[in-house]
Every structure is written in structure tokens, then in C-alpha cells.
Amino acid sequence: MNKVGNYTGAARIFSCMMILATLSPSVVRAQTQGVIPVWSDGKGALGDSSLFQCGQDGDSVCIGSGMSNFRAKLMGFTERDNGSGVYGEATSPTGAGTTNAGVIGVNRATTDDVATGSAPAGVRGWAIATTGKAVGVHGLTNSPDGVGVVATGAGPTSTALQIFNGAVQVAGAGLNTATPVFVVRPPSAGVRAFFINHPLTNGDPNAILIVTAAQAPGALVAVPAVSAGYDFNIQQWFLLTTDGNLFGASFSVMRYNVLVIKP
């Protein structure tokens, strides 16, 4: 089996190309100790899809697209549309626990720089594009009962999710949208209460609703304070004016922002 010595930079990448030209795919996949090319589809060392082991020491350097001197033990790279640099899959249908995962990242560092968002991470997603809506980390579930992303803290007083910069965005949120944050308004004047018909709140008396009064853009009206309640017969939540008055003639520009949290 051919092996590569302690080459760095371009020489290391050139060695990948030489080995991939002489070894069969099965041999290349088997080389996981001290050899740089672990797998390739034959398009080149930095071709369409390649996987590299970046040496044996902690100072080994991988060269990736848009990055220089990126230190890693293993680097996945792809230039294909809809390709993946690294793909992990756990195929057991009954597996559970913290070790059942397609990809696991572990960081044993004890120092951090939390104030600048540079804390050590077991897995870090980085969208290096400076234009467009690039995504650093994307969580997805196909199960109606599944969860796209889970954040777990160390205990009841610890932090499970921390944001250093930027807003919290709920795509498409607006008037009567089926999103976790949405806007409702009274259906007519002359009523004191109205129901909220929403897939995240219907049939769930334990849902937590956070409601704030607002106005339609450009409007200047008094919006009554409301309280939220649940009707077990209708199985829907409703908003009820707290002062007992009815919604007036300006009901069409009254708005209530609603945030739903599932316990």
C-alpha cells in the first residue's frame, strides 16, 4: 500500500492526486492511517468529491475552498451542486442515546471566549459566502413528531441556546399564518372575544401563548388589552378584552402578535 509522508500544502494535495491515479477505489477507502486520500470519486484530489485525512499530528493543515491553513484531522470537500463535504448516516431504526448519530463532534477544550462567540465547539457550521442566504447549520426532520434541531443545557440554570448577533427570524410570519409567530385581528366590531384558529394551538390547552397588542402599519388607534383563554368545547384558544368593552369600528387595523411555545 502506498503511503504519503509528512507533506504539507500543495505538495500534500499533489500527493493525493498521484495516489488516486494509481489506487483502486476500494484500496483508497481503506487507507485511514497516515494517508491523505481516504476516498475520492476520481475527479481529482480537490475534485468533485473527496475525503482527506490530514496527517497524524495536531498541527496538520487542510486546504479548503475559501479557507487557508484550516487545521483539521479530517476534511470533506465537494464542488458538486447539492453535494456534501461530509455525510454521516446512522441506519439503525431503533437506535437511541447520545452516541447514535450520523455525525458526532466532540470538543474537550476547557477554555473559551464566550463574549466574542468563539467558544470551543464539538460541531461548528460556517457559511463562508459573503452574499446570498448561506446557512451555517441546517437541521431537518421528516417526522411530524420529530425535531429539526435540539439544544440541551447542562442543567436547569444553564443555557441551552445562545445568540451572539443577529435577529430571530420566522420565515413567512404574518397575518393568520401557520407559523410559531403570527398575527391575528378581531373579525368584526361589536364583539368582545374572538377565537384563534391555528394548527399549533388548536387542541392544545397546554400551549403557551405570548400576546402583544399592535396596530396595522400606518394606523393610530387604541388597541384594547386582552387576555388569552382556552375553550375546551371548541378546542381553540381565544382572546378576550380585559376591560369588558367591545372591539370598536377600528377593529380592522387592530393587531395582536402571538408567539406559541410548546411545553
Give the 3-state secondary structure of 92-133. CCCCCCCCCCCCCCCCCCCCCCHHHCCCCCCCCCCCCCCCCC
* Total count of residues recorded for the chain: 263
Quickly state the pLDDT bin for 82 (edges 50, 70, 90).
low
Handedness of CA 104, 105, 107, 112 (dihedral sign): negative
For residue 248, pLDDT beyond 90: yes
Residue 234 lies in a domain: yes
Predicted local distance difference test score (pLDDT) of residue 13 = 35
Question: Do the beta carbons of residue 143 and residue 154 sit within 8 Å?
Answer: no
Quickly state the pLDDT bin for 25 (edges 50, 70, 90).
very low
Lowest mean pLDDT among 68-77, 150-159, 201-210, 240-249: 68-77
How far apart are the C-alpha atoms of 245 and 250, rounded to whole Å?
A: 13
Same domain, yes or no, for 95 and 190? no
Residue 51 lies in a domain: yes
Q: What is the mean pLDDT of residues 22-34?
A: 35
Residue 183's φ and ψ, nearest 5 degrees, are -125, 140
Same domain, yes or no, for 97 and 185? no
Residue 72 lies in a domain: yes
For residue 202, pLDDT beyond 90: yes
Predicted local distance difference test score (pLDDT) of residue 113 = 63
Residue 151 lies in a domain: no
Question: Do the beta carbons of residue 263 and residue 223 sit within 8 Å?
Answer: no
For residue 96, pLDDT beyond 70: no
pTM of the model: 0.67
Which of the 8 DSSP states describes residue 175? B
Question: Do the beta carbons of residue 261 and residue 183 sit within 8 Å?
Answer: no
Predicted local distance difference test score (pLDDT) of residue 134 = 81
Predicted local distance difference test score (pLDDT) of residue 89 = 74
Predicted local distance difference test score (pLDDT) of residue 97 = 64
Predicted local distance difference test score (pLDDT) of residue 95 = 64
Same domain, yes or no, for 95 and 1? yes
For the chain, the distance separating the N- and C-terminal CA atoms, rounded to the nearest angstrom, is 56
Residue 153 lies in a domain: no
Quickly state the pLDDT bin for 112 (edges 50, 70, 90).
low
Who has greater pLDDT, 37 or 203?
A: 203
Q: Which cell is 239 given?
A: 382572546
Q: Smallest Cα–Cα separation from 239: which of 197, 204, 206? A: 197
Angle value at C-alpha 96, between 86 and 149, nearest 5 degrees: 55
For residue 98, pLDDT beyond 80: no
pLDDT per position as a tens digit, 208-247:
999 999 998 888 898 999 999 999 999 999 999 999 999 9
Residue 155 lies in a domain: no
Q: Which cell is 12 given?
A: 500534500
Domain that holds residue 243: 181-261
Who has greater pLDDT, 194 or 113?
A: 194
Task: Pick the last residue of a domain from 101, 129, 162.
Answer: 101
| Number of domains, the chain | 2
* pLDDT averaged over every residue in the chain: 74
Who has greater pLDDT, 177 or 153?
A: 177
Task: Pick the last residue of a domain from 44, 76, 101.
Answer: 101
Residue 167 lies in a domain: no
Q: Tell me if residue 215 falls in helix, strand or coil.
A: strand
Task: Pick the last residue of a domain from 101, 130, 149.
Answer: 101
What contacts 224, CB < 8 A, 6 or more positions away? 213, 241, 242, 243, 245, 247, 254
For residue 18, pLDDT beyond 50: no
Who has greater pLDDT, 75 or 151?
A: 151
Residue 77 lies in a domain: yes
Predicted local distance difference test score (pLDDT) of residue 15 = 35
Q: State the amino acid at position 46 in one-letter form.
A: L
pLDDT per position as a tens digit, 33-70:
333 444 445 444 444 445 555 554 444 445 444 444 45
